[in-house]
Amino acid sequence: MYKHSDLDKRICDLEKGATNTETLREFIKRSEKEFGLEPSEKFELEPVDLDSMSEEDLNNYIDYLDRLWEK
């Protein structure tokens, strides 16, 4: 389970066997951009405040983004 303190750590340092050198926060932001989940003038999406969401919600959000990459 990820914690807020993990957001600025590299994924390869958090997950055994992982090779991704992005921080967890970078992965989330890149995923949001890739899948059109970031706020823009076109869509009225609220920015996701990673630091203020509960750790359960943070983990659910990361799991959701992981599933999007698997498709």
Q: Taking the CA atoms of the chain, what radius of gyration do you get in angstroms? A: 12
Per-residue pLDDT band for 7 (boundaries 50, 70, 90) equals very high
- Domain containing 50 equals 4-70
Quick one: pLDDT band at residue 43, thresholds 50, 70, 90?
A: low
Count of structural domains, the chain: 1
Which helix (H) or strand (E) segment holds residue 47: the answer is none
Residue 66 has pLDDT above 80, yes or no: yes
Q: What is the mean pLDDT of the chain?
A: 91
pTM: 0.85
Task: Encode 5-35: b = buried (16+ Cβ within 10 Å), e = exposed.
Answer: ebbeebbeeeeeeeeeeebbeebbbebbeee
pLDDT of residue 24: 98
Mean per-residue pLDDT, 60-69: 95
